[in-house]
Amino acid sequence: MNKHFPVYINYLLVIFLFLSCKIGPNPEQELEKIESKVDILPPGELYGDLFYDVQTNTIFSDSKTFVDAKPQYNVGLIRQRYNMLEDTTKEGISDFVKQHFELPGSDFELEIDSSSIKSHISKLWNVLKRPSDERKSGTLIPLPKPYIVPGGRFREIYYWDSYFTMLGLQEDREVETIQNMVDNFAFLINEYGFIPNGNRTYYLGRSQPPFFAMMVKVLSEIRGEQVLAKYLPELEREYNFWMDGSETFQNNNAVRRVVKMKDGEILNRYWDDNATPRPESYREDVKTAEDAIAENPALTKEEVYRNLRAGAESGWDFSSRWLHKNENGQYDLSTIHTTDIVPVDLNSLLYNLEMTISEAARISGNQEKSKAFSLKAENRKQAILKYNWDSEAGFFKDYNFKNEKVTGQYSLAGVYPLFFEIATKKQAESVANKIEKTFLKPGGLVTTPYNTGEQWDAPNGWPPLQWLSIKGLKNYNQNQLAMEIRSRWLKLNKDVYNRTFKMLEKYNVEDLTKESGGGEYPTQDGFGWTNGVYQKLSSEN
């Protein structure tokens, strides 16, 4: 039997083979029964050896291609046929996949015309919109209502992307689409207890930065405050996901996503429930683990995989935020240690979630719950100010709870306390000064000052961080700097669009003649959150 198959799958297949011989006429019907019991699985378990052989033989240059493919036959039958395949060369495997799967292609083509950038974005909503899913196919988790995908290789809904996409949908009065997407996320919370990274089975071990409360607020701005009360159960359930383990601390100072700080405060970290290579980046993760262990034999591959996955939950996959410097003084992905870090952005978002639950409970008439969550938010605020503020640097940074000090790295995650109005006025002024001197570049704000080859570092600028920074600075009347960032970013977006007729996932903000880069895949176009932020910023004074 296949070495990668869980025992129960092998057992079911044995039953199938027995039944097909004993009872006879309809083996595919029997496989359908088997598959219905096991098909909500990540691709390694769903496809068995076929998955591992496709990924390790580099059948596709992008590891995500195969895990997004749609099986054209019953998956049990595909597994059985692959077990019987004699030609297991790279060419033979490739031919088998092409015969049994519909491979993902480019679904995002839009005719180039002379439309203005804002008109182009308005048209793109229909290009990026997907209908409700009729059924599960391969790794896709069906959603009950239509939704917007980012574009390019990202063919499914993504959690934190969607808030920034909604900003543009709000400007273009696409209210029904916003409602549908909020309902889809509420569905995922109720179905799985949290919002996965995206609606794929291989994302069921992790979430992404918790922006659901901000999405509900966008909808409430359109349809009134009762929207907050309507989604209170889902807001609480997401909160419980992030806080799972906080009531059962014993001697450990970290359980899943919660961390007990040195003075007893509870804060959070990024995590993933699995410690295996990410299916969508399988080869890359295996290589990173090999490099990490070669550099530090005390590590286990499971530790490396967990930290890579936690970095993916952060949305910043990957960044110097999660890395140590290697022996050559360079930031190296093999040094990743995401789970040691209490991130300033995550905890600011959870402060906002606590505040939103408090408000929703008040609207619902539950004053006791409202007060309880208001107190939780205040306690978290004080903990963020205590642990994430670097007074020497005058900037908010991530905190390493293992060595009990802030990390050395500057990043735009430091603007979150301004966006959510956690910072003091004096702190905000200091952050603004550092942003102007260190992060402001010709095309907007660079993500970090470090050029590491990772995509969430220099020279790249990302749409969500421009929006969060501009809004955060405005919250503290740092209006001149906010407007300068806005002007540079919008001009860069427009200039690239006029040259290419594309809206890109990220941009090179340092050298405006070059494209962005770094990371595990080429820069994508489409692009949901770029469109959303552009529409929102360009409509404001």
DSSP annotation of 1 reads -
CA angle 282, 285, 290 (to 5 degrees): 125
- Given a contact cutoff of 8 angstroms between Cβ atoms, the answer to whether 55 and 283 are in contact is yes
Whether 317 sits among the annotated catalytic residues: the reply is yes
Q: In the structure encoding, which two tokens stand for residue 28, read together? A: 């595919």
- Given a contact cutoff of 8 angstroms between Cβ atoms, the answer to whether 13 and 80 are in contact is yes
Radius of gyration of the chain (CA): 24
519 backbone φψ class: left, alpha, beta (φ>0; ψ -120 to 50): left
Whether 505 sits among the annotated catalytic residues: the reply is yes
CA pair distance 300, 464, nearest whole angstrom: 34
| Cβ-Cβ contacts under 8 Å for 204 (sequence gap 6 or more) | 42, 141, 192, 196
Q: In the structure encoding, which two tokens stand for residue 139, read together? A: 């790794």
Nearest CA to 396 out of 379, 383, 381, 413 is that of 413
State whether residue 261 is helix, strand or coil. coil
Considering the candidates 398, 454, 505, 525, report the single residue annotated as catalytic: 505
| Cβ-Cβ contacts under 8 Å for 98 (sequence gap 6 or more) | none
Nearest CA to 516 out of 463, 467, 475, 439 is that of 463
- Given a contact cutoff of 8 angstroms between Cβ atoms, the answer to whether 322 and 278 are in contact is no
State whether residue 241 is helix, strand or coil. helix
DSSP per residue, 174-197: -HHHHHHHHHHHHHHHHHHSS--S
Nearest CA to 128 out of 177, 171, 77, 72 is that of 177
CA pair distance 394, 432, nearest whole angstrom: 10
Helix 282-295 vs helix 301-313: crossing angle, to nearest 10:
130
State whether residue 413 is helix, strand or coil. helix
Considering the candidates 238, 272, 280, 317, report the single residue annotated as catalytic: 317
Beta bridge partners of 268: 258
Distance of CA 456 to the CA centre of its chain: 13
Nearest CA to 455 out of 516, 409, 519 is that of 519
CA pair distance 127, 263, nearest whole angstrom: 51
**Residues catalogued as catalytic:** 317, 505
